[in-house]
Chains A and B, each alone.
Chain A
Amino acid sequence: MNGRRDVGVTAASALRVRAWGAARAWGAAGTPSILLLLALPVLPALGGRYAQGVLTDLGQLVLAALGLSFLKGRAGVLCLGQSGFLAVGAYAYALCAGCGVPPLLAAAIAVAASGAVALAISPAVVKNPTDGAALATLALVVVVQSLVTGLRGVTGGASGMRNVPPLLAVPGAAAFLPWAAVVAGMLFLRWFSATATGRAIRAGRDDPRAAARCGVNVRAGRRLALVICAMFGGLAGAMTGASFGFISPDMFDIALAIALLVMVVGGGEGVLAGPLLGAAFIYFLPDIVRASRDFQTLLNGALLLLVTQYCPGGMAGMLSAAARRVLGRRTRSAPEKGGWSP
């Protein structure tokens, strides 16, 4: 009797430990950061019109980057075409909402549409998570842009669609909603990473062959991760359209896809705080070095090179390393790099 109770207690504590393990892996430092997260959606109410605009843009970028971070950092799939999913979401939302579908339902349809497109291209992505995935997602961007430009009668063509209805006709909603979605998304990803499926996806990234020997369907995991990533992208796209009131194919080009990937890697892939730091950095970079325009491309390249060469954990990894040094004790270890076996 005594022994049984003992085992029960330890099993429960192990569950807690497991949850903590997942939280550690996602870089959320427990209660304080969750409180901070909950405070984020309130921020837009405090700022003026300009701050609200910045928060709107940034929230949408973080949301799109969050999905990408999960795909890249947790499932190890290289996606160079997140902007394609944004475009699908934005156009699905604009078309549905334009036809009189209630905006929130239209946003749900946009998310589903992005997920469906991801499912459709997933056979090309899951087989080869690096080269194949990179090309397939790049091809998706080209196809979406070409179709949107071609189907002028439906999408307004290259000149774009005007008067996209807002998601909620409440002042400040445009700035609030992406952050609410970011918080919900972070909590979801944190929970999902700790489930058996999330575990299987992470194992598939570390070593696909070994994971298969353990009974993990690596390709199914990658497919699911791609669909989740696309749904985050679709929602971000719908919100982009709703907040601008205007969409055009050149808003969702390959440059945006690469920029999102740089946010993820620069911020620290697979870490919850990574997309936040990365997106903020890339977003404010032109303001910081705005005088050196001729050098912008060169500068972006140099920064990306520095990050990939010197802090593979990204800015989040750099910050936690600095914190470790300052505190002088082992707090959380930097996020593991994907164990790549040649």
Chain B
Amino acid sequence: MVAVTRLCAEGLVRRFPGTVAVAGVDIALQAGQALGLVGPNGAGKTTLLDLLSGAGRPDAGRVLLAGRDITGLAPHLRARLGVARTVQRPAWFPGLTVLENVLLGAPRRPAPGRDGQVRRDQVRRALDELERVGLRGLASRPGGEASTAARKRGELARVAFMDPTVVLLDEPSAGHDQESLLVLVAAVRRWLAAGAAVLVVDHDRDLVNALCPTVLLMRDGRIVGPAPAGGAVGEGGGGE
């Protein structure tokens, strides 16, 4: 299988007053491949994800999505181009119903067709995704009534609904119960099968190993190479 690069970053640098959070990172995410990223606290993992998703701007370097330079692109535009990102706190909107929370990921310019038909198709797809994460029964409830684990699963449903080409998962295991973790693993497998690239950052090394054949180690703002297999990454390794 020929490797197709979905997202790649070249020479990313991000400085904060008094520290360099990301000090020259090159990374490439291939279609159908899950990449793990581990490292001690303060190694710059979350900042790197911010730069890839657009939540932060790099001081140097660039980000390419399928060959297109998206370095200066706003987060919402990257999301529309298929870059999905989650953080520890799920993106969940208590003022919207569970179904609306998923529909939020609908494309701005829907496929051509009769308006009503397109909308019905969207709703059906959203319900299907909710079915997969086991929230179908809650579809019409207000988002605010969902438990933390349900919100995490609902977020997965939305990411799936967005048909992402790149998924950046930041601490996906946090807030999940055992059953939800299985849902998560199944969802990641499905995205990979659909040809998306997945980047997983997590403290739960077992989960990262289970999902990703390749795991990289990040330390002091640099990617220093493959992470030692199975070894827990010490907290005192660097950073703060």
Contact = CB atoms under 8 A, between A and B. Distances in A.
Interface of A: 7-8, 10-12, 14-15, 17-18, 20-21, 24-25, 196, 199-200, 202-203, 205-207, 209-218, 333, 336, 338-339, 341
Given A196-B106, A199-B103, A212 B96 contact: no
B94 interface: yes
Contacts of B79: 212-216
A212 B93 contact: no
A210 B79 CA distance: 11
Contacts of A10: 124, 127
Contacts of A206: 93-96
A216 B96 CA distance: 14
A14 B140 contact: yes
Interface in B71-112: 74-77, 79-80, 84-87, 89-97, 99-101, 103-108
Given A21-B142, A216-B76, A15 B96 contact: no
Contacts of B54: 212
A21 B144 CA distance: 13
Chain B interface residue bracket vs A: 35 or more
Given A11-B127, A196-B103, A215-B108, A18 B80 contact: no
Interface of B: 53-55, 74-77, 79-80, 84-87, 89-97, 99-101, 103-108, 119-120, 123-124, 127, 139-140, 142, 144, 158, 162
Contacts of A15: 119-120, 123
Contact of A214 (B97, B140, B158): B158
Contacts of B158: 214
B95 to A, nearest CB: 4
Contacts of B74: 212, 217
Contacts of A12: 120
Given A199-B103, A200-B104, A211-B93, 13 more contacts: A10-B124, A11-B127, A18-B97, A21-B100, A205-B95, A212-B54, A213-B55, A213-B76, A214-B79, A214-B91, A215-B79, A218-B76, A336-B144
Contact of B96 (A14, A203, A217, A333): A203
Contacts of B85: 213
Contact of B140 (A20, A338, A339): A20
Contacts of A21: 96-97, 99-100, 140, 142
A59 B127 CA distance: 41
B53 A213 contact: yes
A7 B89 CA distance: 32
6 contacts: A21-B140, A207-B92, A214-B105, A215-B108, A218-B76, A336-B94
B204 to A, nearest CB: 22
A18 B158 CA distance: 16
A332 to B, nearest CB: 10
Contacts of A207: 91-93
A18 B99 contact: yes
A21 to B, nearest CB: 4
A196 B123 CA distance: 12
A255 B181 CA distance: 55
A35 B54 CA distance: 48
Contacts of B97: 17-18, 21
B104 A214 contact: yes
A315 to B, nearest CB: 20
B142 A202 contact: no
B123 A11 contact: yes
Contacts of B89: 210, 341
B2 to A, nearest CB: 29
Given A11-B127, A212-B74, A339 B139 contact: no
Contacts of A200: 104
B127 A14 contact: yes
A249 B100 CA distance: 44
**Which residue, B76, B85, B91, B101, has most C-beta atoms of chain A within 10 A?**
B76
B150 to A, nearest CB: 15
A14 B53 contact: no
Contacts of B94: 206, 336, 339
A32 B132 CA distance: 38
B91 A210 contact: yes
B176 to A, nearest CB: 18
A18 B93 contact: no
A336 B162 contact: no
Contacts of B80: 215
B174 to A, nearest CB: 15
A302 B238 CA distance: 54
